[in-house]
Chains A and B, each alone.
Chain A
Amino acid sequence: MKIGIPVLDELLGDVPRGKTVTYLIDPEVEGDVFPLQTLYENLENGNSCALIVSSMSPEIIKNRFREFGWDIEKDSFSIVDAYSAYVGASSEEKYFVKNPADLKELDRVITRAIEENDLIVFNSLSTIIDISGEDVIEFVNGWNKYAMLNDAVIVYGFTSWPYAQEVLEKIKELSNTVISVGGIHHRVVLGHYYGILKSDWKEVKNKAVLFKLLRPGGVRAYIPKILVTGPFNSGKTTFVHSISTKAVSVDRLGTTVALDHGHVDYKGFSIDIFGTPGQERFNPVLKILGGEALGVIVVVDSTKPEDFPRAKEMLAETTRFGLPYVIAANKQDIDGCLSPEEIKRKMNLPDDAVVVPMSARSKEGVYDVLDALLNLLIGG
């Protein structure tokens, strides 16, 4: 069996029969696609798959597959309808739970689905807990064991609302592999990522993958981009080079006329860094990078307060796009430089603005800048 999600397939390999996989999904992220994509991938590979639907009608969920261009009109696909009865409707699905709040009945139907299918996918286990209470967790334990006996795989979609900590812990404990699907919050949810929290059949490294949803197509991984900007001669190029494991610059007479480009693998993120030329507005660059720019580093020369107004202008441009930013106070190794506090005051920045002291030349503090930005993005 396959996970069917980019990068995870390589990291986890095949899902052995009898195992359970849980997607732990941030409530503000459209993560319900993950279990659906896993189902579609395995349906395509000739497995019989059942989908347990508890938070929307079977028709709506079928449209959700169509939205991503996934054809599920196969005899090997069936739906366990644990929704329709809840809103007083009838059902034409193969498996129908006549009273979804009655755990015993739900259990009987799901047990039958486990016997008759290779893969059982729960669209939303959290909704079932919401309807029937936390007793469901005991049944989850039972279903997992039954799947093991029947050589079936169970995949749970679970939305991590602020449940009691024990509930979340129990859910994680009961799964062989847990994949977290999270959001990068900054006023609004800016981006989404996923990573493996645990797996008992493969040793996994901490790795976060950013993704977008394509319609059609589903989950697609992408490399986050960070923009480095700042006034003329503030040290942007030096900074991009000192932070990157590999970097190239297009320049003429020592000043960047086109773009610096660097790449760094840091804390499980694989990040592309783009330095913009100081003498131009980077509006067009931001447009080119589209929605993939995640944050901005504004490099200022701590010895040149006369350039601060220009830096402030550039900052205004970024915040217009709603992107989080960090001020990198460069040239801290030069006598007479201003302290981060003084820079904050002179630039008239809001209290919560982050100014990080560093020296692009000596590399002192350059990773603190990246840490500060990642901290803003994913809260540490």
Chain B
Amino acid sequence: MLTGSLSINGKPSNLMIIGPPLVGKTILIRNMFFEKINEGFGGIFITTRSPAEEIADWLSSQGVDDFKIIDCVSKTTMQDLPDEPKIKRLSVMDLTGITVKVNELFKEYLKDEKKVVVAFDSLSTLLMYLNEQTVLRFLHVFSSRIRTTGAVAFYIVEEGMHDEKTIAALKQLFNGVLELKDENNQRFLRYMDTSVRIDWKEFEVQDNAIVVKT
């Protein structure tokens, strides 16, 4: 699968996935998240876009079970749905709520001696509702917690929605970047961190999976 063939698996603790709309970021992050759970990680998926139920159904259909979803969609849009065993709901403006909830889940997984993977889809929604400084302050706290717990986290950022200063500031907080692009109906990705650089590779989306061409 993708992360394996790119041999970046598990290296960066905080990985940013950036690309234009519809290039396949969401499918990518779900696959990466799924793979980690399949390896024995406990998963926390924070969604600000897709309904939590849809993500839960998809993960269950792939045969994994050890995950929790933080739903930042329903409460933001004023629907007051109750929590479910696998789904915790918060407003996207309630950043403290998010850090507190993630910490609680960390604690539970730690008791079971599990490593944790976090997926965040997407930071762009946060930046839409809150100002940049607020989001950066939040991410500063959040990404340090990811590092100290030895977890891995993937964050989606929409390309073209934010100015370059914001993107540069975000990159500062993360220690790896996976970039996606679309050219003449072909899709490419490349990866970069302080020690590894993988140049553009073509990939395809097949049946909800990402296939990198060799």
Q: Name A's B-contacting residues (CB within 8 A).
A: 25, 27-32, 54-57, 59-60, 63, 83-84, 86-87, 89, 124, 127, 130-131, 133, 159, 161-163, 185, 187-190, 320-322
Known A29-B100, A189-B103; contact A55-B94, beta-carbon cutoff 8 A: yes
Docked CA distance A31–B93 (Å): 16
Q: List 19 A-B contacts (CB under 8 A).
A: A28-B99, A28-B100, A30-B100, A32-B97, A54-B93, A55-B91, A55-B93, A55-B94, A56-B75, A63-B80, A83-B93, A84-B78, A87-B129, A127-B93, A161-B137, A185-B148, A188-B103, A188-B145, A321-B111
Does A27 contact B94, Cβ atoms closer than 8 Å? no
Known A131-B131, A188-B106; contact A27-B95, beta-carbon cutoff 8 A: yes
Docked CA distance A72–B140 (Å): 36
Chain B residue at smallest Cβ distance from A89: B78
Q: Which of A54, A89, A130, A322 contacts B107 (CB 8 A)?
A: A322
Does A188 contact B149, Cβ atoms closer than 8 Å? yes
Interface size on B, residues (CB 8 A): 32
B138 at the interface (CB under 8 A from A): yes
B134 at the interface (CB under 8 A from A): yes
Contacts of B91 in A (CB 8 A): 55-57, 60
Q: Name B's A-contacting residues (CB within 8 A).
A: 75-78, 80, 91, 93-97, 99-100, 103, 106-107, 110-111, 113, 129-131, 133-134, 137-138, 140-141, 145, 148-150
Contacts of B134 in A (CB 8 A): 130, 161
Does A57 contact B75, Cβ atoms closer than 8 Å? yes
Does A60 contact B75, Cβ atoms closer than 8 Å? yes
Q: Which of A27, A63, A130 contacts B131 (CB 8 A)?
A: A130
In angstroms, how far is the closest chain A Cβ from the Cβ of B115? Answer: 12
Docked CA distance A127–B137 (Å): 12
In angstroms, how far is the closest chain B Cβ from the Cβ of A194? Answer: 15
In angstroms, how far is the closest chain A Cβ from the Cβ of B147? Answer: 10
Does B138 contact A57, Cβ atoms closer than 8 Å? no
Instruction: Knowing that A57-B75, A161-B138, A322-B110 touch, tell me 15 more A-B residue pairs with CB under 8 angstroms.
Output: A27-B96, A30-B100, A32-B96, A32-B97, A54-B93, A55-B93, A55-B95, A55-B96, A56-B94, A59-B80, A84-B78, A87-B77, A130-B134, A162-B140, A189-B103
Contacts of A133 in B (CB 8 A): 131
Q: Which of A29, A56, A89 contacts B93 (CB 8 A)?
A: A56
